[in-house]
Structures are given as C-alpha cells and as structure tokens.
A and B are shown apart, each in its own frame.
Chain A
Amino acid sequence: MILVYVDHDRGELSELSLQALAFGRHLADGDEPVHALMVGASALEGAGTLAAYGVTTVHLAVHDALTDYTPVASARAAAELVTRLAPRAVVAIGDQRGNEVMAHLGAITDLPVAADCTEVTLGDPTRVVRARWGGNLIEHGILHGATPLLTLVPHTVRADAPGDGVGNVEQFTPELTDTDLLVRVVDRVAESHGGISLTDAKVIVSGGRGVGSAEGFGLLEDLAGLLGGAIGASRVVTAAGWRPHDEQVGQTGTKVSPDLYIACGISGASQHLAGCHTSKTILVINNDADAPIMAHADYAVIGDLHTILPAIIDATRAAKAG
C-alpha cells in the first residue's frame, strides 16, 4: 500500500494535493492500493471525493483540537498509520506544508526523507532522482529507510481527472499530546493586495530589473487586471523594495506554474527560472533578444517594455470589448 498525505485548506483540496495522489498511484505496483491521510474533521467532505482519484481508503484523523493546520499533529497521525499499516512508501507534495509534515514524520520515526523528488523507484534499495538548486542540478541518490518518505516537486505530474473509483473513509483519533498541538495556525491575514494569490493565478505578469522602478509596475498591474492575473517579480525587484517580497518568483520565492507567464524585463537567471519554468506558456518582453530566458520561453516580443506594454494593454482591451 502507498500512503499519500493529502493537504487541504479548511476542507478545500488543492491542485497540488491531487498531484500527490497522481504520484502515489504512479508508484503503486499493479493493483496495489493507494490510501490517503487527511487531518481534521473539516476534511470529511473532501475525503469523500478522493475515491474518484483512485484512493481505496482515506484515513481521516479527527480530534477536537484539529481545527486548522497543525504540522506536528499531522505527522503524529501519519506516524501512527506507518506503524499500524506498514505502507510501502509515504508520499506528500513538496510544497511548504508537505515538506514540513514529512520532515516532522522523519524526525518522529527517525527515518530519512527524500524531499523534492522528480522520479522514484521503490525497491531494495529505493532510488530517487531529486531536484537541487530549484531543479538546476539533478541528484541521483539512494534512500536507506525501512519506509521511504518522499515529497514530490510540484508540477512534476499532472493531477488525474476524476474517475469512478470506489473507496471508503475511516475516521480515527490519533494520540496527541499538548506538545504535538503547540504549533498550529492561530490567525490568518487576507492577501494584502486583495488580488489572486501567485500559486492560484492562471496568468502571472512578472517584472524584473528592466521594469526600472516601483512605478513601472503600474503597466504590469493594468495588464494583469485585464487578464485576471497576479503580479510576480524577480529577486532584484523585491530586494530593491519595488514590490513586496511575497511576490518573488524563483528558487527562494514562490514556485509557480500558471497557464501563462509573462516575463517583462527579466533576463532569466537560473534561480528565477527555477520558479517559473513549468508554466504552460511563457511570453517574454525584453530588449535583449539573447537573454537566457529566451531558451525557456515560447513567445517573445523584443524591445522596450515601457512602449510595448501600453500597446498590448490597448489591443487586449479592444479584443475584449470586441
């Protein structure tokens, strides 16, 4: 059996959770069952939908104190399942929460964790291929652990479309101490700019050094507004204070994979590409036809973005009106 930790936001499943399930199914041998762990009673409804993604049993950890995300308690619940069910591997998506829960699980069980995998061959030994430097270097390694604990680089696999699988939800109450519940979400702050978050956006209009100033982002905001998109930025831009840090796309910022990534005045350092190269379509607006980003883009417009963007904004507005 393959056990998949399925994260959710107060009951809401994300695209990334479904990618973790797709990877779990991919690891399963023939008709080997795939089980899932979800934590908190708010996941009850979401848990019921996982059968459609090939999950035969969802283990739903319920406890009065599990009202929002609690990383240590989630790892405790996973550790209980590892002992009780002896899965052949435990998988999570390699985002902040997935990596966090899996690291706690590794620390609790004293097992090694291979984070940010792109390929895994379970066996004796288990071989992993994992991303270093945000994917700019590929490590081939061996994971020596009785139960391989793995996280998968987001967007390595696509989520499966729901099918007509049948499964059941089994509730259990993990044994938790106060220490396990100490780290939990105590408050939430709404998105400061009120728009769509980077990770959810289908379109991202991103700016680099070439935008030239904080004011220069006004044009990017106009285009993002027309396309229902979010604003992204390179590290140079956030370090200069032109844009808030949570808009940084890249190895040390947010890793995004929108349908359309519009890179304005971004040359394409490897650290930036690490955060956006899985985007479905990349459009570059840059005055340098030889910028490194050209080798990762689908389309490009060469020239000064300060004159090109207003023209694109006008043409887009006209197209939408027409």
Chain B
Amino acid sequence: MEVLVCIKRVPLSGGRFVLTEDQSEVDTRRLGFTISPHEECAVELAVQLVEAHGGAATVLALGTPESLEQIRESMAVGIDRGILLETDGAEWDAQGTATAIADAIRADGTEFDVMLFGNESADAANSQVGIRVARLLGRPVLTGLQGMSVTDGTLRGERAAAGGREVFAVPLPAVATVKDGVTIPRYPSVPGRIRAKKKPVAQSTPTRPEPRLEKVSYTLPAETGKRATVLGTGPEAADAVVEVFRKIGAI
C-alpha cells in the first residue's frame, strides 16, 4: 500500500502571539516550530497503515526550507521518504497550496492508495486543502475523521455528529482528512532519528499563484479586560457556587 501524508510546519505557542511591527506576520523569533496536531496523527496513521499492509509511506510539506525539520520528524517515526515543495515564506492560500500538491503528486507518479491530511492547519485553518486536492485528482474524500480504518480496499471513517457519530465508507484510492485524537502518535526512537537523516527527500520549488484569499494584516484579539470574581477559597465557597447556579438557571 502506498500512503501519502501532507503536513505543515507551524509555530508552537500556547500563549498570546506577538506580531511584527508592520502587523503582517507573527513574530516567530522566540517560538519553536512543530507539525499541526491533526497532522501529527495523520503521520502516525500513515506509518500504521504501512505496518499493517506493507508498502511505503511518503510525507509531503509545502513551506520554507526549514520544513525539512518536520519532514525528518515524520521520518523518525517511520515515514520512508519525503517531498518538500519549497516556498519563500509568503502566504499560500488553499487553492494555490492544493494545486501545487496535486501537481507534485502527479509528477511523483506514485499511485497513492490513501492520501492523508489534517482537517485544518493549526495556523491558517482554511479547512480546504485535502478536499481541493481530492477534487483535482478525482478521488473521494472523507473529512474531520476521529476514527479511521482501511480494510479490503475500503476506507471507513467516523466523526462526531448530532447524537453520536456518523460513519462514511469509500473505495480506495481515497483521501482522508483527520483530527487530533484519531490515533495516538508515537514518540520517535533514537535509531529512528538516525535512520531519518538518511532517508531521501525530493525538493522542488513551485511558483506561487496570486492568492485569491489575500491576507492583508493581522491583529490580536482584544484583551478581555475580564477578571473572574473569586467566590471563595476551598470547600467553604460551595454555597456561593450554588447561588451562581441558581442565578443563571443551571438548577
């Protein structure tokens, strides 16, 4: 089985972002970088599929040359080879990204049975790239999967829906976009990291089309200016909490 997984290098932050002076970019000088959480799970799924069915797993990233770091991270947990579509760091919109990825897949020539994406990237979150690539390549696509399996030429996926989960099934070859939690990513081993350094990465530099969703600037959300009213300390605050429950109609 040939499996492709597409990843994106994104900054790592749990707090408030800092912007560059002209507000055109996030100031990433003090931030580390990582793979979007959804895609971390997609990488793990790709490795699991090859472990179960044989074949090879390929990782593809469109991004700055530093994205090689995230390609190597994926290789350290078992991905066999990489494709890096190098950019100069300017913003690519979903259409441009999907077109470049579809072109690269065609140029690569491998008939991928399963192509995996994150449901949306952690940063831009356009929620479109996997769907647009699927359309360009004429493949069915299941999205937002929180559970996924491949058996007997069928990709089956499920996700949360009103009252439970909804289940989809399509024949291979197919595309799936997955969510954090669809599986638990493994940690890379030391031998895995060493092997990753020797695995092949094909590099090319696609031309960025004029973005049709054009980013102009960023702002940060307003500080809430809020400060929680402290009802008390310890178990003695329980009655005050119940008063709040009453006031807002929770009981």
Contact = CB atoms under 8 A, between A and B. Distances in A.
Contact of A270 (B14, B226, B235): B14
B213 interface: yes
A96 B168 contact: no
Interface string A158-172: 000000000000000
Given A12-B162, A113-B126, A301-B237, A246 B146 contact: yes
A259 B249 contact: yes
A242 to B, nearest CB: 13
A73 interface: no
Given A132-B125, A252-B37, A299 B245 contact: no
B141 A183 contact: yes
Main secondary structure, interface of A, reads mixed
B8 to A, nearest CB: 13
B31 interface: no
Interface string B58-69: 000000000000
A113 B94 contact: yes
B250 A9 contact: no
A310 B119 CA distance: 39
Contact of B233 (A133, A186, A301): A301
B54 to A, nearest CB: 26
Contacts of A135: 221
Interface in B206-228: 210-221, 223-224, 226-228
Contacts, number: 277
B131 A188 contact: no
B37 A96 contact: no
A112 B226 CA distance: 37
A212 interface: no
Nearest to A112: B212
Contacts of A131: 125
Interface residues of B, number: 88
B241 A113 contact: no
A188 B213 contact: no
A214 interface: no
A132 B95 contact: no
Contacts of B214: 141-144
Nearest to A280: B248
Interface stretch (B44-52, B77-85, B176-184, B197-205): B176-184
Given A9-B163, A185-B167, A260-B248, A138 B228 contact: no
A139 B215 contact: yes
A145 B181 contact: no
B179 A252 contact: yes
Interface in A272-314: 280-284, 289, 292, 294-304, 307-308, 310-312, 314
Given A138-B218, A270-B13, 18 more contacts: A94-B127, A107-B98, A107-B128, A132-B125, A133-B122, A142-B214, A143-B214, A185-B168, A187-B166, A190-B163, A197-B164, A245-B181, A246-B165, A248-B181, A292-B15, A294-B227, A301-B231, A311-B235
14 contacts: A104-B131, A115-B125, A183-B168, A191-B164, A197-B163, A198-B160, A203-B250, A227-B250, A246-B165, A270-B13, A284-B228, A298-B229, A299-B229, A302-B230
